[in-house]
Structure 1
Amino acid sequence: MITVEHLTKRYGAFTAVNDVSFTCVPGTVTGFLGPNGAGKSTTMRMISGLTPPTSGRTTVNGVAFRDLPNPGRHIGVLLDASAQHSGRTGREILSLSAQLLGVGQKRVDAMLELVGLHGAAEKRRVGNYSLGMRQRLGLAHALLGDPTVLMLDEPANGLDPEGIFWMRGVLRDFADRGGTVMLSSHLLREVEAVADHLVVIGSGRIVADGGKDELLHAGGLYVRSLDPAPLEKALAEAGLSVQPTRDGGFSVAGDAETVGRAALAAGAVLLELRPADSGGLEEMFLRLTSSHDSHDGSRPPGHAPAGTVGAGAATVASQKEAS
């Protein structure tokens, strides 16, 4: 479980994250969404102990990241797939991390097999890997310690359609076995396909937090009549918010009974009365974030990019920042 409570991060007069609270629970994939500069990466860095918060707190399974014994055995983190030693082979990177985590080489073998980097690919230097191969290695690194929590930033970046489908299956299987997944991605259709829960951030603040089905189907009602004008007037007089649609109907914020009674009073014959189409995650995302001007909360000037964490690297980085 990941718990974020009233998290705030300021850089001088600049507020990157402002009083953010949410929870990622076991057995679910939480999509953590927001436009560029909304504060996603800063939030994830604070969760993983790489950036100290100005105020608020975060915990992983009830414990602050910096207080976790051998944190890679509890949470696997992938924040930047390119932040890997380019001169080492894929197997060398996992083998070194396995020593830090206290897991055997059989786990290294299993992870290379899982992500499709066994055989010749594991012997290549990471500097010769494609971005998609680095993403696969980063996921193997995050899973190496057999954690109960995964936190991934843009894990499908650079993957081909087959790789994206594969990644979706790995994350879904991890959650279905009781794991907690926090996933940040700009590939909204992929998030919609795999996520159970959605947290949307805009300008450093949470603008939506809830179950995927709940958020995507909170679009009110669609109503269409033989005679639109009397119906629109009756709905407005009933105190309902009415928005005309392109096909001559109306999108109404209200319940079916109120709409039906208003139509009856106006003598309007209804042709349709049903839940409005949500338009999917993309439409909801644009609607929620369009009113929030983005700022570069994910990386203030002079702030170094995040790396691949999960097998002790985050602990070292957080200790350096604290010193």
Structure 2
Amino acid sequence: MISVENLTKRYGPHAAVDDVSFTCSPGTVTGFLGPNGAGKSTTMRMICGLTSPTSGSATVDGVPYRRLPNPGRRIGVLLDASAQHAGRTGRETLALAARTMGVDPARVPATLDRVGLNAAAAKRRVGAYSLGMRQRLGLAHALLGDPRILILDEPANGLDPEGIFWMRGLLRDFADRGGTVLLSSHLLREVEAVADRLVVIGGGRVVAQGGRDELLAGAGTLVRARDPHALRAALASAGLDAASSTDGGLLVHAEAGAVGQAAADAGVALLELRPAGSGGLEQLFLTLTADQSTRKAVR
């Protein structure tokens, strides 16, 4: 289990991560989502002990990462696939990791095969690998110690569609066998396909978290009108809170029936009226991260 409690990281006056809290339970894949600069990678680095928090805490099975005696046997980490020695072969990279973790060297060929790196690829130097091959090698390194927890930052970068489909199956199988996965990715449709829970971060703060289906179902109502100003006034008169959505409409935290009735009572002609969740995770993500603080974070 991964537990993050009130985690904060400041660089001078700027809060890269601001009071972030969430948990990742065994048997689940948690999708960790947010635009560039939102604080995802910083949060993951703090969980893994690579960056010290300003305040708050992060634990793995109740213990801070830095206090784990042999962390590779408890938690597999892939934060940067390019951070590998270019002069070593794939097999040498894993063999060295096996010695460091005290893993049976016989696991190396099987682990390489598990991630789709055949004998020929294992003999090539990492400097000659494509990004997709480096991602596979990084995932092999994460899996080598047979951990029960995986923390993966953008692991599908550089993978072709077949590779993305393969990774989805691997992570789903890992979780279904009782493992815990924290997955950061910009490929929202793939996250939607594999994640059980979602944590959405924007401007360093968690803007939404919960079960995937729960969040999609409770996303509110999207509405557009020929006269946006009249629509906003009608909703305000009905006591309905509305925020601008990314497609020029309004996101209203109310059922579609109430929104439609408010517009009808005010004589406002609508162009679109639908549950926000019907647009899937992509629409939910864009809506949740469209506020001013997030736009500032990604400039």
Q: Secondary structure at the match of 1:57?
A: strand
Letter in 1 for 2:100: L
Aligned to 2:89: 89
Give the structure-2-normalised TM-score. 0.84
- Residues in 2 aligned to 1:130 and 1:187: alpha-carbon distance in whole angstroms: 19
- After TM superposition, give the deviation of residue 10 of structure 1 in Å: 1.2
- Residues in 1 aligned to 2:60 and 2:260: alpha-carbon distance in whole angstroms: 49
Change (3 A) 1:104 1:221: same
- After TM superposition, give the deviation of residue 294 of structure 1 in Å: 4.2
Aligned to 1:150: 150
- Residues in 2 aligned to 1:57 and 1:171: alpha-carbon distance in whole angstroms: 26
- After TM superposition, give the deviation of residue 25 of structure 1 in Å: 0.9
Letter in 1 for 2:154: E
Letter in 2 for 1:116: G
Change (3 A) 1:296 1:28: same
1:28 counterpart = 2:42: no
Matches within 5 A, 1:86-125: 86-125=86-125
RMSD over aligned Cα atoms: 3.2
Q: Which has the larger radius of gyration?
A: 1
- Residues in 2 aligned to 1:194 and 1:36: alpha-carbon distance in whole angstroms: 21
Aligned to 1:65: 65
- Residues in 1 aligned to 2:256 and 2:116: alpha-carbon distance in whole angstroms: 52
Letter in 2 for 1:285: F
Give the structure-1-normalised TM-score. 0.78
- Residues in 2 aligned to 1:242 and 1:83: alpha-carbon distance in whole angstroms: 45
Change (3 A) 1:100 1:234: closer
- Residues in 2 aligned to 1:46 and 1:11: alpha-carbon distance in whole angstroms: 14
User: How far does the alpha carbon of each residue in 1:212-261 deviate from its partner, in whole angstroms, 9 at most, with x for none?
Assistant: 111112133589xxxxxxxx999876544589xxxxxx986435887899
Change (3 A) 1:179 1:52: same
- After TM superposition, give the deviation of residue 116 of structure 1 in Å: 1.2
- After TM superposition, give the deviation of residue 13 of structure 1 in Å: 2.1
Change (3 A) 1:96 1:177: same
Matches within 5 A, 1:1-323: 1-220=1-220, 239-240=239-240, 253-255=253-255, 277-291=277-291, 292-295=294-297
- After TM superposition, give the deviation of residue 106 of structure 1 in Å: 2.2
Larger relative contact order (C-alpha < 8 A, sep ≥ 6)?
A: 1
Change (3 A) 1:233 1:76: closer
- Residues in 2 aligned to 1:254 and 1:31: alpha-carbon distance in whole angstroms: 26
- Residues in 2 aligned to 1:251 and 1:40: alpha-carbon distance in whole angstroms: 25
Q: Secondary structure at the match of 1:216?
A: helix
Q: Secondary structure at the match of 1:99?
A: helix
- Residues in 1 aligned to 2:3 and 2:210: alpha-carbon distance in whole angstroms: 15
Asked if 2 retains the 8 angstrom alpha-carbon contact of 1:35 and 1:294, the reply is no
- For structure 2, the residue ranges without an aligned partner over 5 or more in a row are 224-231, 244-249, 267-272
Letter in 2 for 1:217: A
Identity of aligned residues (%): 72
Asked if 2 retains the 8 angstrom alpha-carbon contact of 1:5 and 1:22, the reply is yes
- Residues in 1 aligned to 2:284 and 2:18: alpha-carbon distance in whole angstroms: 22
Q: Secondary structure at the match of 2:106?
A: helix
Q: Secondary structure at the match of 2:52?
A: coil
- For structure 1, the residue ranges without an aligned partner over 5 or more in a row are 224-231, 244-249, 267-272, 298-323
- Residues in 1 aligned to 2:189 and 2:239: alpha-carbon distance in whole angstroms: 35
